[in-house]
Amino acid sequence: MAPELRTERELSLDFLRVTEAAAIEAARTMGQGNRKHSDQVAVEAMREVMDSVPMRGRIVIGEGDEERRHLRLRMEKDGVPIWETDAIELRPDPTGTHSTSQTADYVALVWETTQTVVLLGDPMAALFDVGTGSLRASFSAAFVGRSSLEIACLALVEGEHLLIVASTKRVWVIDDKLQPVVRYEPRFMLAGPPRLVDGALVVPEYDFDSDQEVVEEIIDLQA
């Protein structure tokens, strides 16, 4: 097995232990009617196990506020908060069924080349300065609502000099100057995460008007 694959596998097992420890401690508080205490013991257990993982990295935490109006982003180092900010204003569900954003998930990563934290959610992708938490750039996203077809994807390519941002109905490619290189909207919706192949962006998307349910749009990034 290649060294990088072995490392990824070992860390995934360690992170499984982190999640398991948090779940066990939270389960012990079930029925007590104190969700803040449940959250506290879960976080303490998570940090204790995380401290035993042989890794270097940053911990980025995203959570909704008390009334679920914003997704709150917090950066920590060695368990100590460095900064905290209201990252994305959550879009209300017009049906009134859900009090949070229409999308089920948020995706985040640290883009070391640009020293930013990238957060993708409904209704935008936002890039925050790693050191201060200040907003450096934002790009509008497009989702269709809670659905098993929903796509939310962030991917670093070309030696981390390009970032692919994909939501269900919009794709951005952003360079390391935080400028858009490509903005693409599929006719219907994405069928999977876009990928970079030989300098071209390959975008799988649904085409309900053709015999092929899924087609691939090829976008030349050099054009």
Q: Which residues of 145-167 are buried (b: 16+ CB within 10 A; e: fewer)?
A: beeeebbbbbbbbeeeebbbbbb
Is the whole model's pTM more than 0.85, yes or no?
no
CA-wise closest residue to 108 among 98, 118, 95: 118
| Domain spans of the chain, in order of start | 1-56, 104-220
CATH architecture of 104-220: Beta Barrel (2.40)
Per-residue pLDDT of the chain (223 residues; tens, 9 = 90+): 444 444 555 777 888 888 899 899 988 888 888 888 888 888 888 888 888 888 776 666 655 544 455 677 878 777 778 888 877 664 544 433 333 334 445 788 889 999 999 988 777 889 999 999 899 999 988 776 656 567 888 999 988 899 999 988 899 999 999 999 999 999 888 988 999 998 899 999 988 887 778 889 999 987 6
